[in-house]
């Protein structure tokens, strides 16, 4: 069964510190993997997208990595800010040729940044 699992479920860090969120998936074959940020009471917003052949991609203070061999991805947040407090969701898209029309969502990591 295709699954996406994220860890930890929740995380509390001090402002200015770094943190890393993990995503393990079994979806195969896959088209891309995205990390979404979901602020409380809002819809998710895409942070990064990684295709099968990419290892690292950065978006400001956010850096995503992908190891397609071990089926693991991580999201590293540098110099955290209070505005980083949110849920971070890992989403895997199946490869287009499979004809699938559904995404595979992790349950998210709830990050709280405290002053």
Partner 1 sequence: EAQVTQNPRYLITVTGKKLTVTCSQNMNHEYMSWYRQDPGLGLRQIYYSMNVEVTDKGDVPEGYKVSRKEKRNFPLILESPSPNQTSLYFCASSLFAVYNEQFFGPGTRLTVL
- What single DSSP character describes residue 42? S
Confirm or reject binding of residue 42 to partner 1 (CB under 8 A). Answer: yes
Structure tokens at 83: 């505005």
User: Does the footprint of partner 1 cover residue 24 (CB under 8 A)?
Assistant: no
Instruction: Quote the tokens at residue 67.
Output: 């190891």
* Rounded-to-integer distance, Cα 44 and Cα 12, Å: 20
Instruction: Give the shortest CB-108-to-partner 1 separation in angstroms.
Output: 6
| 106: contact with partner 1 by CB under 8 A | yes
CB nearer to partner 1: pick between 77 and 91? 91
45: contact with partner 1 by CB under 8 A: yes
User: Please, how many CA atoms are within 13 Å of residue 102, restricted to the half-sphere of its CB?
Assistant: 5
Q: Give strand pairing partners of 49.
A: 34
Does residue 83 bind partner 1 (CB under 8 A)? Answer: no
Q: Which of 60, 83, 102, 115 binds partner 1 (CB under 8 A)?
A: 102
Peptide bond between residue 110 and the one before it cis (omega within 30 degrees of 0): no
Applying CB under 8 A, the residues found at the interface with partner 1 are 31-32, 34, 41-46, 49, 89, 91, 93, 96, 100-103, 105-108
């Amino acid at each position: 069964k295709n699954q996406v699992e994220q860890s930890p479920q929740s995380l509390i860090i001090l402002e200015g510190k770094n943190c890393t969120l993990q995503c393990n998936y079994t979806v195969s074959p896959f088209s891309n993997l995205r990390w979404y940020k979901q602020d409380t009471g809002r819809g998710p917003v895409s942070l990064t997208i990684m295709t099968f052949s990419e290892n690292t991609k950065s978006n400001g203070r956010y850096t995503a990595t992908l190891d397609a061999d071990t089926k693991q991805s991580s999201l590293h947040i540098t110099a955290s800010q209070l505005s980083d407090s949110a849920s971070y969701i890992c989403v895997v898209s199946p490869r287009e040729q499979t004809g699938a029309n559904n995404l595979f969502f992790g349950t998210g990591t709830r990050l709280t940044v405290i002053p």
